[in-house]
Structures are given as C-alpha cells and as structure tokens.
Amino acid sequence: MGIALASLCVFLAVAANRRIGTYGLETDFYGDYAPDADRLRAGEFPQNTFQGPGYPAILALAEYAVKDPFRAGRLISAASAAAVGLLAFFLFRDLFGYWSGIGSQLLVLVSGLFPQLAVTASTDMVFLMLCLAALVAFGRTDWSPHWRAGASGLLTGMAFLTRYNGVFLIPAFLVGIGVLKSFGPGLWRRIQSAGVFLGVSFVVALPWFYANLRHNGSALFNQNYLNIATEFYGDRFGADKTGDGTSIMSEKFHSFGEVVRYDPMRIARRYPGNLLGSLRRSLSTQLVGPFVGLAAVVGAVFALWSRRSGFLVIVALAGAIYFLLMALNHWEARYYLFPAVLYAGLAAYAVVRLADLAARPAKNSLPARIAGVLAFAVLWAMSLRASARDVRAFLRTEPVEVLEACAYLQANGIRDARILSRKPHLASVCQQQSVSFPRVLSVEELRRWLETNPVDYVVISSVELSRRGGVASLGDPAAAPPWLSAVWTHRDPTFILYRSAGAR
C-alpha cells in the first residue's frame, strides 16, 4: 500500500503541472470524452461510436468535484495508475509469491509508456485497472464462488463499457469456470458460477444495450469495424491510421459484415503477420523498459514449466485472447498496456526464480539474494530512466499556444464561435463550437467548402500544415486570401487564428 500511495503522490504532482492536453491521444479527450461527459450530465445520448459510455460517465462524476474536465481526467488517470500497481502486486503475489508481487508493482509503475499515461487524460488507465481488478477478483480463492463470479462479472461489464475490447475477459473466465473448474468440480456449481458471471456482466451493460438499441437500431452498434477496415484495406483507399483514414473508410463500409466480406482472403493473409508483429513490438518497443521483455520471456518459461496452476492458465489465456483480438487493429503501444503488466510480473518472477536457483546449492544463500536484489534494481533503474525521459519529452509537447489563443477570444468576449480546426483543443478549452477541418486539397477548395459550411474562425497550426498540405500558404498571414483575416498569431510553433468572412 505504501508503494501505491507514493506512486499516487508522484503522478498527481506531475499531472498537476500540466496545463493542456497534447495533440496526440488527448485529442480524443477533447473531441469525444469531455463532450460526451457533458451530454450524459444533460441527459443526452453520447456521440462517440468507438467506445462505450463508461469513461465519460466516470469523467462526468469527477467533474462535479474538481469543476474542470481536464483536471478531472488527469486525476482519474493518476488514481487508476496507482491502483493498477497495487492490483499487479495482488495478481502476481497470488501467482508467484510476495516478492514477485512487489517486484511486479515496482516494474509496472516505471515501465515504458505507463508513467506518461498515468498523467494523461485518457481511457487507458481506467480500462487497465478494471481488467486487472476483474482478474484479481476471479482469482480470490478465499471468496465464495458466487462472490468471485459476481465481482469479476461486474468488473468485466465495466471494462466492456469503457472499451469494447474488454470482451476478451469473457471467454477466458468461462474457460476458467467450465473447463479448468476454478470454482469447483461439480457440473451444477460450474453452471451456476458461469450464470452468475454472465448475468452480472449483462446486467451492468444492459442499460447501454437498451439505449444503443433505441438510438442506433442495434444494442451492439459501434464503428470499430472502421479500424479493421483501415488496417487491412487502408492502402487500397489511401486511408491512414488517423481520423482521416477512418473518415475515408466510413464512406466505403457500414458494418463489420461488409468489412469481412469485402476481401476475407486479404484479412486471412495479413492477420498472422499482424499478430506476430504485435507480439514482437510489445516485447521490444517503448511499451516495456529495457531488458524487461527479455526477462519476461525467461519468467514465462519458468512459469509454464514449474507452476502449472489453473489461475496461471487463465491469466495466460486472457493475455493470448487479448493479442488475438487486438491483432485486428493497427499497432499502437498504448493499446497493449495489459500485456505490459503481465510482462512486468513475469520479469519480476524471473529475477526471483533465478535468485532462488542460485541460492539452492550454496550453504549461504545471502549472496545470491543480494545479487537478485541488485539485478532487479538495475532493471528497475533502467526502466525508470527511460520512462522519465519519455515523460519529460511528452510534457514539452503541450500546445500552450492554444491557451493564449483562448485568452484572446475571452478578452474579446467571443462566445459560441464556430472554430474550424484539425484538433478540437481550442474550441473545447474555450467552450466554443468545434468544426472538423475538411479533407480539402487547396485554398480554393476550402473557400468553396466554407460557402456551404460557414464558420467564424479558422485555425492554421502545425497540425493543419502537416495534415492539409494544400492550404500550406495559409501558414503566412500575409499570403492569406481576402476572405480570411488573421486576428491572432503565434510564430513558434505556428498557430494562426483567422476570422472568416462568413463569421456571424
């Protein structure tokens, strides 16, 4: 618990110094999660079609306490990250012993992207916390079968509502109940436990299923098929792995069935490469610290060779199903935080196990134990150094010029303005209306688009200049056409706020 509290204090201290979300994954926060939290508070249906309402609901509740969505998002992530470390301890203590639990907790907290995401307003930490909590609840042999099934079902349902890929827990737990007999050998007991687990999971998700059915015509409606289409067919249609790519694919595909039927052989050929590539990247990229991936492989060998417990099989199965599911999507390191926690636990177990093996033939086991502690300390210190460097680099990418542009709008009493931009930050921070920048190829094409879609302001920043090369001339206010007038500029990085001729 002390480690968890210390990590919470560190994460909160770093998060407290942040002023604005970055143009990376926090774009989703400003464009989807914060607006959906506002909609939920107003009794309206959320508009994000890629995730469920779980995170916006949590955000809406947290906002009541802190009165600011971005501060609430950072608080949620920091608290969830500290909880993840504690849950990693419980999980790997139950699997491999106390010292493996401590080691896994310490490694998780400094591994790769983890510290960065701990101070980021996103769904990543909340989802990871719920998944680990479900696993820990499932493995609590000191609870009654019904309590274990009910608690893991509750947490699985919450994970699913946060991110739909939380569904990976369901088959892993059902195999644990039905095949591995985790809750007892009797057939009737297994049927009861499976029924409780599935029933609680369904009840948790039922209100969303009903609302989704009423609003979209299907209880399971979501647009994650666009991510699959972009991954497997993107090169055919010029669709990259960004919002532009999914927008292009939304014009071509309208369901999972259409995506699968379009070219099933192409999916079948590419899928194995995606799966193996994801596994390789997860062990060798910024996801885990230096040498943690190698140590995890060693730990996996030890675990599978000498500790064939039913719960270990369930955890391994959950990790395998997660990889099988996520291989349908493009690689992004943060999508693989769940395997990263498993790697940290296996790496800690490898160090403990090697120290035990070295101590057995010796009359005095103290040198071997000290060597194990030093080896783990080196592994932890290297991970900390790498992740701290990444956090510092991440914090330097905050677009603070957006806050200055917002100050201009506020100083001039501008309210409810329609702001055209590639990123929703300015409109969200300044409580204006966000309008997505169209896929135009020239300034003239932008002019024609604005004739039928009038806005008050047009943002030209480094993002628009890189993603909309056809309007690069707007990066120089002196070269702007007469229907755009620069009212606020920032040189480095470029951020120009143009007032449109169609302004109200």
Q: For residues 50 and 224, is the Cβ–Cβ distance under 8 A?
A: yes
pTM above 0.85, yes or no: yes
CB neighbours of 109 closer than 8 A, spacing ≥ 6?
Answer: 3, 7, 81, 85, 115
SS3 string, 266-284, reads HHHHHHHHHHHHHHHHHHH
Interval 257-308: pLDDT, tens: 999 999 999 999 999 999 999 999 998 877 887 789 899 999 999 888 876 6
Token code pair at residue 55:
């995170």
Q: Report residue 291: phi and psi, to 5°.
A: 70, 0
Retrieve residue 295's tokens. 């140590």
pLDDT surpasses 90 at 183: no
Q: Which residue reads 């079948």 in tokens?
A: 268
Mean pLDDT of 454-482: 92
* pLDDT at site 364: 63
DSSP for residue 23: S
Predicted local distance difference test score (pLDDT) of residue 490: 93
Please report the domains of the chain, with CATH numbers, ordered by start residue: 2-222+263-394 (no CATH), 401-500 (3.40.190)
Q: What is the mean pLDDT of residues 415-433?
A: 94
Average pLDDT over residues 182-201: 86
Q: Could you give the percent of the chain with pLDDT greater than 90?
A: 73
Helix extents (H) in 17-97: 26-28, 34-41, 54-66, 69-96
Separation CA 79–CA 58 (nearest Å): 12
Find residue 498's DSSP bridge partners: 458, 486
Residue 418, classed as helix, strand or coil, is: strand
Contact 289, 107 (CB under 8 A): yes
Given a cut of 70, is residue 485 above it in pLDDT?
Answer: yes
Residue 166 backbone phi and psi in degrees, to 5: -65, -10
What per-residue string of b and e applies to 362-374 under the rule 16 or more CB within 10 Å gives b?
eeeeeebbeebee
What value does the mean pLDDT of the chain take? 91
Helical segments of 396-421, H only: 401-411
Dmax over CA atoms of the chain, in Å, equals 87
**Residue 186, CA distances (Å) to 145, 151, 183, 192, 355 in order:** 12, 21, 9, 10, 40
Q: Quote the pLDDT of residue 10.
A: 93
